[in-house]
Amino acid sequence: MALLFFIVRRLIAMLFILLGVAAVTFFLVRLAPGDPVAQQLGQHAGDVATYHRLYHQMGLDQPLWHQYVTYVWNALHGDLGSSVVSVGTPVTTIIGQGLPVTLELGALATVIALLVGVPLGILAAVRHNRLVADNLSMGVMMALYSLPPFVIIPAVWLIFGILLKNTFFHLPVSGWDGIGDPQYWIAPACVFAAGLAGLFARSMRSFMLEELNKDYIRMARAKGLAERRVIYLHALKNTLLPFASILGPTIAFLVVGAFIIENEFSIPGIANITVQSTLSDDYSVTLATTLVLAAAVVVANALTDIFYTVVDPRVKL
């Protein structure tokens, strides 16, 4: 029952948050310099009669407050407008196609990052100050965390796309064929995971070190518990709370994906559309993707709060 009330409270809060985000974004994008009509007309944007006709058709000649009210009314009925760059394409179609792809890529990257970063963080904490297990591995993780994707991607292309062409290890540099065809997602997911793994490893190491120095761990060892049990059953469990504080927002921001990765690997997700829409004054798409991100942050925070109560029954919703 408490969980149900919690979910309902968060849904109501999300509605107000989305209305606020929509209002701020709506007015901000329209106040910024730019022109969606000129964008659509391309190099014929100087054609005055056509320009004014399209301006009117898009409703841009209405007062801003009127445009906002119309937008909210339509949005509540499931109509988020049409794209200017993809002429006439409903925004819901664009989001509906791109969002699952971005989520797939983000999920794959998160899983890889967790499976690499968390064990390495634990190992670094358990073998604290050892050259390979701690210093070297955390150095590599720090490097991966620091290196931007546009540095890693050309190296990946060079090695797996070009130098290893026509070998067993060859990977395509571009394209997407769904989660069922790993050859297309291996490279981008690993590039995406690189930074995440660095973050997870470094964080887990810090949290684990803090736990391992606590009295209850000393007591557990003194009682003669197997070390594996001490680490994985007791210490690790207590790192989950602070780790969730990092994981929750990270997952939320996966929703808008990694623009550079999607753009360079030609992955049809929502991230490159989001950035393209801001550069092209595609107001409807910008607004919709901002709302998606806001909703994702709210949902991720709610899931994190629920997770807290699962891990630590003392925490109440």
Binders of another protein in range 127-156 (CB under 8 A): 127, 133, 154
Is the distance from CB of 299 to CB of 252 less than 8 angstroms? yes
Q: Which of 174, 214, 237, 315 binds another protein (CB under 8 A)?
A: 174
Of 25 and 40, nearer to another protein (C-beta) is 40
Of 231 and 296, nearer to another protein (C-beta) is 231
**Upper half-sphere CA count for residue 232 (Cβ side, 13 Å):** 7
Q: Which of 118, 194, 255, 297 binds another protein (CB under 8 A)?
A: 118
Of 75 and 260, nearer to another protein (C-beta) is 260
Footprint (CB under 8 A) of another protein, residues 215-244: 221, 226-228, 231-232
280 binds another protein (CB under 8 A): yes
3-state secondary structure of 171: coil
252, burial (CB in 10 Å: exposed 0-12, middle 13-18, buried 19+): buried
What is the closest distance, in whole angstroms, from the C-beta atom of residue 79 to another protein in the complex? 14
Provide the β-strand partners of residue 82.
90
What is the closest distance, in whole angstroms, from the C-beta atom of residue 133 to another protein in the complex? 6
Of 64 and 115, nearer to another protein (C-beta) is 115
Of 7 and 233, nearer to another protein (C-beta) is 233
Rounded Cα gap, residues 8 and 14, in angstroms = 10
170, burial (CB in 10 Å: exposed 0-12, middle 13-18, buried 19+): middle
End-to-end Cα distance, the chain: 11
Footprint (CB under 8 A) of another protein, residues 77-116: 85-90, 93, 97-98, 112, 115-116
Of 11 and 279, nearer to another protein (C-beta) is 279
186 binds another protein (CB under 8 A): yes
CA-nearest of 6, 16, 14 to 299 is 14
Of 6 and 259, nearer to another protein (C-beta) is 259
Footprint (CB under 8 A) of another protein, residues 24-83: 33-36, 38-51, 53-54, 57-58
Footprint (CB under 8 A) of another protein, residues 191-220: none
How many residues form the binding site for another protein (CB under 8 A)? 85
Of 20 and 119, nearer to another protein (C-beta) is 119
Is the distance from CB of 248 to CB of 263 less than 8 angstroms? no
Neighbours of 294 (CB within 10 A): 20
72 Cα distance to chain centroid: 26
Q: Residue length, the chain? A: 317
Q: Which of 26, 265, 307, 308 binds another protein (CB under 8 A)?
A: 265
What is the closest distance, in whole angstroms, from the C-beta atom of residue 302 to another protein in the complex? 30
3-state secondary structure of 316: coil
Rounded Cα gap, residues 197 and 203, in angstroms = 10
313 binds another protein (CB under 8 A): no
Tokens linked to 144: 């991966």
Q: Which of 22, 109, 138, 173 binds another protein (CB under 8 A)?
A: 173
